[in-house]
Amino acid sequence: MIHKIEIDIKNSVDDLGKNGYSICENMISPEIITLLIQELENRERTGDIKAGLVGRGEAKTIDGKQRDVLSSWIGNDTAGEKYFLDFAEQIRLSINRNLMLGLFEFESQFLHYPIGGFYKRHVDALKGNRNRIVSMVAYLNQNWSDADGGSLAIWENDQSLRPVIEVMPTAGTVVLMLSEDIPHEARSALRERRAIAGWFRVNPSSAGQINPSH
């Protein structure tokens, strides 16, 4: 029997290959969402979550003009983290099998946007660097409404002036994007917002590349 998650992953990877991005609602079950929220809230209580940095290497700084968000790296210690990393591994294997990108490893962070928090338009990797190949965003926000704001705006490419789509940060929704090619922006919201951001990377000696077919 083919399970829903297998179908969701296959459809997401197909869309990633065609468009450079994919969106799948209800991809993560409510039970796992609850575990992940509990882990993130525990880090918020203990202060194990910090303002995100921008830049590279020793030049990394806190830039409140570019983004207002707290982050904490995900490990493999709790039930929620273990499930999420296994979920990401299924996606990695599917991408490699169907798009032949040679993805080698995955890293991810919990994100906490305060009320009014944002991350302005950006791409997750510079052209040609080949350090981050596919980006993933998984949302953890229960009972979210359009009136709360906080959408993820996605552009088709660097030249696009208007977003091709805006995705509401509803619990269970998962977005995949080509890290070098797809600009995106986390809009401000009237509520606190929680998510996971992840990046699939390659071994630099074996990096592949695809071009969206749209």
- Residue-wise pLDDT for 187-211, tens only, equals 999 999 999 999 999 986 554 555 4
- C-alpha 82, offset from chain centre: 17
Rg (CA), the chain: 16
What is the assigned CATH class of domain 4-205? mainly beta
Could you tell me if 175 and 152 are in contact, meaning their C-beta atoms sit under 8 angstroms apart?
A: yes
Question: What's the mean per-residue pLDDT of the chain?
Answer: 90
pLDDT at residue 7, rounded to an integer = 95
> Quick one: pLDDT at residue 67?
80
| pLDDT surpasses 70 at 139 | yes
* 43-88 pLDDT per residue, tens: 999 999 988 655 544 444 555 578 899 999 999 999 999 999 999 9
The reported pLDDT for the residue numbered 41 is 96
pTM: 0.89
10 Å CB burial of residue 131 (0-12, 13-18, 19+) is middle
**What are the structural domain ranges in the chain?**
4-205
